[in-house]
Amino acid sequence: MTELKHNLRVWGLAAILAVSLQAADPYISEGFIQIPSSIQVGAMSGVEVDAQGRVYVLHRGEPPVLVFGKNGRLSHAFGDGMFRTAHGLRIGPDGDVWTTDNAGHSVMRFSPEGILEERWGVTATPGAGELDFRSPDDLVFASNGDVYIADAGNGRIVRRAANGDFKQQWGSKGKGEGQFAAAHGIAIDSQDRIYVADRGNHRIQVFSPDGEFLAAWSGFGNPFGALVVGDELLVSDGDAHTISHLSLKDGKMTAQWGDPEMLKLPHLMAVGPDGRLYIAEVAGNRVQIFRPAGK
């Protein structure tokens, strides 16, 4: 009887621990995007999912932009020889593919098929003017079509109209409010509030659509990427190999998960129409897929 009570107690503790762990991990890994062996794989830096569920991957190999259908198979690829250091990738409101080239100091817009439609910035020529960039890392789109670009090398956020016209900029290098060590990742919510992953200053800075400083959130690590999912901001930490969940209401951390075995330098992220989370892992040369726990 004593042994039975002991076993029941152990099993009970194990069940409680299992429930606790499940609650602590909001996502469950489903594996990785399968990249054909014919692709010269490099560090995975960006990922995005369009409205049809097609997955776009940006990596530092050739060809740099890979497009996968809903069946998980490679559909087509493009961008050969056009990037110096591939960094960010986002799908625009009209379905076009927008990318940032860190060492190329430029932003490029492609059709979904891979035709280069537009380039902002002079390739391989950094600058601090209204139409220049210095190591741009990420970008997002406002509800009116404006494009906000995290111009990391200049320590600023650049706001341009969809047609490319300069509208606004704010920020500089530093540690104060509205300053950045590196404006590395950027996210936007349904109210067009801007969230900047201030990598190096170990904080997220929050701004109004017009660049007014609203808040600074810290205490979760060093942010690399940022993504709004529902009422939370997901933040990737490439140093600690974790994903943190911050409440959009007050920036308080509601969950944190991951470790060097699970995530190998998580970078930029995307969420698909079905709620699956995609994480580009620079050190892992891979994109990992996670489904929400309980689904």
Tens digits of residue pLDDT in 121-171: 999 999 999 999 999 999 999 999 999 999 999 999 999 999 999 999 999
Query: Per the domain annotation, does 13 fall within a domain?
Result: no
Mean of per-residue pLDDT scores for the chain: 93
pLDDT digits (tens, 9 = 90+) for 41-67: 999 999 999 999 999 999 999 999 999
* Lowest-confidence region among 8-22, 99-113, 201-215, 216-230: 8-22
pLDDT at 90: 98
Query: Per the domain annotation, does 14 fall within a domain?
Result: no
H helix or E strand, kind and range, residue 75: strand 74-78
- Does 69 score more than 50 pLDDT? yes
Instruction: Check residues 13 and 155 and name the one with the higher pLDDT.
Output: 155
Is the pTM above the cut of 0.75?
yes
Query: Per the domain annotation, does 5 fall within a domain?
Result: no
Residue pointed to by tokens 């995007």: 33
pLDDT at 295: 77
| CB-based contact 131:118 (threshold 8 Å) | no
- Does 72 score more than 70 pLDDT? yes
CA distances, 165 to each of 90, 120, 130, 147, 148 (Å): 19, 10, 9, 10, 12
Exposure of 225 in the CB half-sphere (CA atoms within 13 A): 31
Mean pLDDT of 77-81: 98
Residue pointed to by tokens 């762990």: 21
Kindly report the CATH number assigned to the domain that includes residue 234: 2.120.10.30
Query: Per the domain annotation, does 178 fall within a domain?
Result: yes
pLDDT digits (tens, 9 = 90+) for 216-255: 999 999 999 999 999 999 999 999 999 999 999 999 999 9
Query: Per the domain annotation, does 246 fall within a domain?
Result: yes
Domain with 281, as residue range(s), is 30-292
Query: Per the domain annotation, does 12 fall within a domain?
Result: no
Query: Per the domain annotation, does 187 fall within a domain?
Result: yes
- Does 186 score more than 60 pLDDT? yes
Query: Per the domain annotation, does 209 fall within a domain?
Result: yes
CA distance 170 to 78: 33
The total number of structural domains in the chain stands at: 1
Q: How confident is the model at residue 23 (pLDDT cuts 50, 70, 90)?
A: low
CA distance 152 to 103: 11
Per-residue b/e over 129-142, b at no fewer than 16 CB within 10 Å? Answer: eeebbbbbbbbbbb
CA distance 244 to 179: 22
